[in-house]
Amino acid sequence: MKQYPADFWNERYAEKEYVYGTEPNVFFKEQLDQLVAGNVLLPAEGEGRNSVYAALQGWDVVAFDISTSGKVKAMQLSAAQKVVVDYQVTSVLDFKTDIKFDTIGLCYTHFPVEIRKDAFQHLLKFLKPNGTVIFEAFAKAQLGKPSGGPKNFGMLFSIEEIKDEFPELEFKLLEEKTIELSEGNYHKGKAEVIRFIGIKK
């Protein structure tokens, strides 16, 4: 059985509240604001907070998630903000498009261990040369902390794993950091994260 299947996320996103809030991830916002608007891919996009923010800044947004209830919330948020997001319901390895993207945003994309490296390699096929990856996710040191994240050690990240799983990127920034999360009810408090900005060689 895969960790965190669609049923898990459908149940979580069926909650009335936006479980990770409606504001974009802070690091994603900071980094996106430094780029010239183009097109951006947002995998595992959940309830749409990052995709709606990007669309509001003039980006053409393609997003996907395995959760149908996540898409419902994302469409409600995009309608409220009067922006258009191309949001698909699909698993990561089944995602297909003819578009080549300027940017990919990977915010807490904790894929199951057995597919993770293949998933990232698959996604990077859709990134243009010199395109940018913006990444933030929980580090190995996050295990057991109450501020969020997978309970499976293998689904958390180390810097060595990042280097191994993204060999075609040149890292402008790659760091492990303690931050204060305030993203809805499930990402809240001091957290250990890995962040990077990578450019496709």
User: Per residue in 102-138, pLDDT tens?
Assistant: 999 999 999 999 999 999 999 999 999 999 999 999 9
Q: What are phi and psi of 161, to 5 degrees?
A: -65, -40
Q: What pairing do the DSSP bridges indicate for beta strands 86-89 and 60-65?
A: parallel
- In the numeric block, the tokens 């907070």 are attached to 49
Q: Cβ(100)–Cβ(123) under 8 Å? A: no
- Decide if pLDDT at 95 tops 80: yes
* 115 HSE (CA, 13 A, CB side): 16
How many other C-beta atoms are found inside a 10 Å radius of the C-beta of residue 119?
21
Residue 1 predicted with pLDDT over 50:
no
- Look at the alpha carbons of 117, 85, 19, 14 in this order and tell me if their dihedral is positive or negative: negative
Residue 182: phi and psi, rounded to 5, are -145, 75
Quick one: DSSP state of residue 104?
A: E
* Run of H or E residues at 125: none
| Entry pTM | 0.96
Is residue 3 scored above 60 in pLDDT? no
Say what the pLDDT of residue 110 is: 96
Share of the chain above pLDDT 90, in %: 96
Share of the chain above pLDDT 70, in %: 98
What confidence score (pLDDT) does residue 4 get? 58
The gap from C-alpha 112 to its chain's centroid, in whole angstroms, comes to: 14
For the 5-200 domain, the top CATH level (class) is alpha beta
Nearest Cα residue to 45 out of 74, 17, 22, 69: 74
